Structure 1
């Protein structure tokens, strides 16, 4: 069974155009071809990335955060309530109006107290600004490094200036050492993000992030095995360009340098639109969709590769919508948060009183709190 699956998976017609077979892509003294076995190393390298990230966040990002004044906001820890905690963990973190009324009766609390308890309880589970700062610092350093590395890898290549050169001689294109390490580093990093995604800051676009990471890994893996490496390096480069600015804007936002944050964000929005919604579809996808039939008949790999690029483009359009909303906030107010973030809810005033029927102020008993008082 495994032999049959392997035979179908690596069927020549899925990966190679025309009458070519894998036998035609044998290594020689002058040509080295990308192999699936080359990618096995990204698993241990992803674990190395996780270790390096752990050390970076604690030894570099945390002291740097303290240096520029990034501090955690003091949060109010709500009194334990068995009834509300059970509802919070088993049913809903955002109870409806009817649920709030029912819970207030069970606890002998007012509806406002129950709402406040759920708001503070939700805030307790949200990541603090220091955690966000450390994650953004790590991504900034990585994207900056890979963008510079990508420029070094591509600046002297003819296909960097003439996209038709991407297909010159395809698929008999030798793998360069610089291309090998560019791919391995990028794929190892994205695999490390997949491994860490449930522990990182969970944003509103959590599902889109998962789709993005897996689509990126699938796209890079397929482009590697199908020898679409030249166009793959171009895709990675244009993606890293705007990511640098986004992470930089986040850092200044967490440090409350809002004017600097806003300025960088405007530049980021422009670069994002230019690279993801103009260069990516009208140069890169045009290159992969229009030019190849001039060199070989379309085959499954041709359609699959372009499908993955279109999926990325759709994600770009989704994020562009969020970015434009943030630009609107900037133009008509002030940019104070990442539109994708699961932001902390505002606290109500700490002083509120509950009056009984004869007008005297009273303190209500704690809900499920062992008879303690809840002073509001």
Structure 2
């Protein structure tokens, strides 16, 4: 039984990594190992460096939001207002957490009889309880400022790193991450880099527009959203499908 399962697993593994499926003719996985001169090609184990890097980025984000983004938010007039908590009620809290955050009329009437509260009072309790879980404007501003800074820096870094290949800098989010990882493992680094750079192009403008909205700078917010829309259309709906994805485009 165990032998048959092992053989089946071996066949499945061999099919999954079939050189005839993944690689061009007369090319093997051994060819992707790279020269033995110490430089080498990308390897699958290099992906493990993502985890300590993620910890470092998360730490930098915490420090940035606390010591840079928050003072900036307060400076533009966003208040650090405390969260107004609703009146504690075990019965309503249990319904809110375990059943529904939006009780229907039948449930409202049942709770009204059970607690001897008016339906209107219970509706207000649920509305305030929902608002209690929403992040305050200050928190959202800090998050957007962090993303604005991160996207802008990563995009600028991508331009600097790939300046000799600037015409090749465009291709697509969650799927993009998987494609980029796979491309790195298989020594197709340029394709992964194009995906990230194409996505990063318009993101700083979106986060800047959100920051302006949180700061109640309506004219600046509208202007930035218009610029973001134009940048998004040009980069993702024009350059990507009409240039990067065409067989005659950069490869």
**Offset of 1:31 from its aligned partner?**
7.2
CA distances 1:1-22 after superposition (whole Å, capped 9, x unpaired): 5983665554323432222102
Report the CA distance between 1:251 and its aligned residue. 1.0
Q: Find the aligned partners of 1:254 and 1:114 in 2 and give their Cα distance.
A: 31
Tell me what 1:161 maps to: 167
Residues 58/162 of structure 1: CA separation in 2 closer, same or farther (3 Å cut): closer
Alpha-carbon separation, structure 1, partners of 2:168 and 2:93? 61
Deviation at 1:30, TM superposition (A): 10
Partner of 1:311: none
Paired position in structure 2 for 1:223: 183
Q: How many residues align?
A: 240
TM-score (norm 1): 0.58
How many angstroms does 1:267 deviate by?
0.7
Comparing both chains, which one has the higher relative contact order based on Cα–Cα distances under 8 Å and sequence gaps of 6 or more?
1
Q: What TM-score results when the alignment is normalised by the length of structure 2?
A: 0.85
Contact residue 147 and residue 237 of structure 1 kept, 8 A = yes
Please, what is the CA RMSD of the aligned residues? 2.6
User: Which runs of 5 or more structure 1 residues have no equivalent in the other structure?
Assistant: 164-211, 296-376
> Which sections of structure 2, spanning at least 5 residues, go unmatched?
1-5
Instruction: Answer 1 or 2: which has greater helix percent.
Output: 2
Q: Is residue 148–residue 208 contact of structure 2 (8 Å, CA) maintained in 1?
A: yes
Does the 8 A contact of 1:15 with 1:226 survive in 2?
A: no
For 1:66 and 1:237, the matched residues in 2 are separated by 32
User: Superposition pairs for residues 40-119 of structure 1, below 5 Å?
Assistant: 40-73=48-81, 75-119=83-127
- Residues 24-77 of structure 1: CA deviation (Å, up to 9, x unaligned): 234235974221122211111111111111111112111121122222455543
Q: 1:14 to 1:44 in 2, by over 3 A?
A: farther
Q: Corresponding residue for 1:25?
A: 32
CA deviation profile, 1:87-123 (whole Å, cap 9, x unmatched): 1111000111211122122222222111111000000
Aligned position for 2:216: 256
The answer as to whether partners of 1:93 and 1:118 remain within 8 angstroms in 2 is: yes
Give deviations 1:144-199, integer Å, cap 9, x for gaps. 11111111122212xx3379xxxxxxxxxxxxxxxxxxxxxxxxxxxxxxxxxxxx
For 1:207-246, what aligned pairs fall within 5 Å after superposition? Answer: 212-213=173-174, 215-246=175-206
